[in-house]
Structure 1
Amino acid sequence: MKTFFTRTASALVFVAVMLGGILWSPFTFFLLFFLVSTFALQEFFKLMRLIDTGYNNIPSWHKWGATIAGAAIMLAFTGEYFQLGDISTGFIGWWIAIIFLLVLPLGEILLDKDFSPRNVGYSCMGLLYVVIPFSLLVNIRLNAIDIHYTPENVGTAPGWLIPLLLIIFIWINDTMAYIVGSLIGKTPFFPSISPKKTIEGSVGGMILAVVAAGVYGYYWGQQYLSLQHWLALAGIAAVFGTTGDLLESRLKRMAGVKDSGNIMPGHGGFLDRFDSLLLATPFAWIYVHAFMMA
């Protein structure tokens, strides 16, 4: 019972912080995912150190340099939206990111007597796997004014709508997959990675997530997004969100841990909470830019 209340309380706090950060303003949206990205990156590095103990030997300047590079990349994706005097934060971010991405491998080669190309690769992998997706999510939010929301290009939807929908569709997919899998799930889906997942549950969750998006979009949502966008975004969130969950589960199995962290009592770490979003976001960004941008 104590565990149940702990999980419930931490989940409520998590939802409140997420909604506040997403809905309050563009800056709080950026700040929220900037912090999430930074902590998730550290969890990824921890997993890599467990998978390959050689990654424990990187010098402290490498650890801090990779973290700063990640922060700079996120800043770069803000583009011209935020300004520091006459200079955009995006411009500052790109230059810092370029400098650190050049210095890191050079410094590793010149200064580390135990230089290993794999260590540089792990750091770059973290930036690609964790930082880039969150940066693309911020980019979608800040460029919402350029999105064609409806065939008439009314553009009446709030900027946070698409990022929030991705999160909601992923949650619906996960919830429905659990329910369907509990009721009729029999065939294991990647049992070596996630033994509890079933094909029936996973497919059922995907279908029901798209159906839920279609029903809401058809009856109430077309003033914000055209129906095909509701269906497409739900499909992306369901398919690639499920894949993202399996990918992180694979990393945790390789590292020999149950959770990536313990920031949320009973719910694991940042990677555990956002693993689905990490893979769904890049494909959503591609869809938005290919079919929804002005």
Structure 2
Amino acid sequence: MKTFFTRTASALVFVAVMLGGILWTPFTFFLLFFLVNFFAIQEYFKLIRLIDKDYNEVSAWHRYGVLVASCAIVMAFTGEAFVTTLASLGFLGWWTAVIFLLVLPMGEILLGKDFSLKNIGYSALGLLYISVSFGLLVDLRLSSSMITFIGHTTGGQPGWLIPLLLICFIWINDTMAYIIGSLIGRTPFFPSISPKKTTEGSVGGMILCVAVAGIFGHYWGQQWLDLQHWLALAGIAAIFGTAGDLLESKLKRMAGVKDSGNIMPGHGGFLDRFDSLLLATPFAWIYVHSFMM
């Protein structure tokens, strides 16, 4: 019972913080996912250190340099949206990222105990997997006002709509997959990675996610997006969200841990909460910029 109340309380706080950050202003959206990236990238490094002990040997310069570069990458995706007295946040982020990414290998050679391209590769994959993905999500939020809705551009369209839809579709897919899997699931989906997932649950969750999006989009949502966009975004969230969950489960299994972190009582770490979004976001970004701009 205590565990139930702990999980419920932390879930309510999580939802409140997420909705506040997403809906309040563009800057709170950026700040929310800037912080999520900051903690998620560190959880990734922890998993890699457990998977490959050689990663423990990276220098402090490498460890903190990658963290700074990670934060700078997310900043770079803000472009000209937030302007300080000196320069835009995007400009500062871009040049900070470039400088650290160029100087980082040199520092590793000079300061590391043993220079290892493998360790640099682990760090580069983390930046691509986490920081670039969150940067693309921030870009979706800031560029949504340029999307053509129902044949015309509407500057008043809420920029948070598409990021929030992605998150909602992922939640619907996960919930439906759990319910269907519990009721009729018999065939293991990827037993070596996630033994509890079933093919019936995963496929059923995807189908119902797209169906819910289609029904809502048809009856109530066409004032914001054409029906085909509701269906496409739901399909992207369901398919690549499921793949993202499996990818992070594979990393945890290789590391021999149940959760990526314990920042959220009863719910694991930041990677556990955003693993689906990390893989769905790049494909949603490609779709939006290819078919909706």
Is TM-score (shorter-chain normalized) higher than 0.5?
yes
Preserved CA contact (<8 Å) 2:58 2:113 = no
Length, aligned pairs only: 293
Amino acid aligned to 1:161:
L
Q: Secondary structure at the match of 1:215?
A: helix
What's the counterpart of residue 54 of structure 2? Answer: 54
The 4+ residue runs of structure 1 with deviation greater than 4 A are none
Q: Secondary structure at the match of 1:17?
A: helix
Q: Secondary structure at the match of 1:189?
A: strand
| CA–CA distance in structure 2, aligned partners of residues 8 and 199 of structure 1 | 28
Amino acid aligned to 2:96:
I
What's the counterpart of residue 89 of structure 2? Answer: 89
Alignment map for 1:79-158 (pairs within 5 Å): 79-85=79-85, 87-154=87-154, 156-158=156-158
Q: TM-score, normalised by structure 1?
A: 0.98
Q: Secondary structure at the match of 2:158?
A: coil
| CA–CA distance in structure 1, aligned partners of residues 100 and 86 of structure 2 | 23
Cα offset, 1:113, TM superposition: 3.0
Q: CA, structure 1 residues 154+27, in 2 after alignment: closer, same or farther (shift >3 Å)?
A: closer
Q: Secondary structure at the match of 1:84?
A: coil
| CA–CA distance in structure 2, aligned partners of residues 131 and 150 of structure 1 | 32
RMSD after superposition? 0.9
Cα offset, 1:153, TM superposition: 3.8
| CA–CA distance in structure 1, aligned partners of residues 83 and 157 of structure 2 | 24
Flag structure 2 segments of 5+ consecutive residues without an equivalent. none
Deviating more after overlay: 152-161 vs 280-289:
152-161
Q: Secondary structure at the match of 2:151?
A: coil
| CA–CA distance in structure 1, aligned partners of residues 229 and 157 of structure 2 | 13
Cα offset, 1:131, TM superposition: 0.5
Q: Residue by residue, what CA displacement relative to the aligned partner does 1:69-97 show, whole Å, maximum 9, x if unpaired?
A: 00110110000111012521111111110
Cα offset, 1:156, TM superposition: 4.8
Flag structure 1 segments of 5+ consecutive residues without an equivalent. none
Cα offset, 1:154, TM superposition: 4.1
Q: TM-score, normalised by structure 2?
A: 0.98
What's the counterpart of residue 12 of structure 2? Answer: 12
What's the counterpart of residue 40 of structure 2? Answer: 40
| CA–CA distance in structure 2, aligned partners of residues 178 and 149 of structure 1 | 34
Preserved CA contact (<8 Å) 2:252 2:259 = yes
Q: Secondary structure at the match of 1:195?
A: strand
1:215 aligns with 2:232: no
Amino acid aligned to 2:31:
L
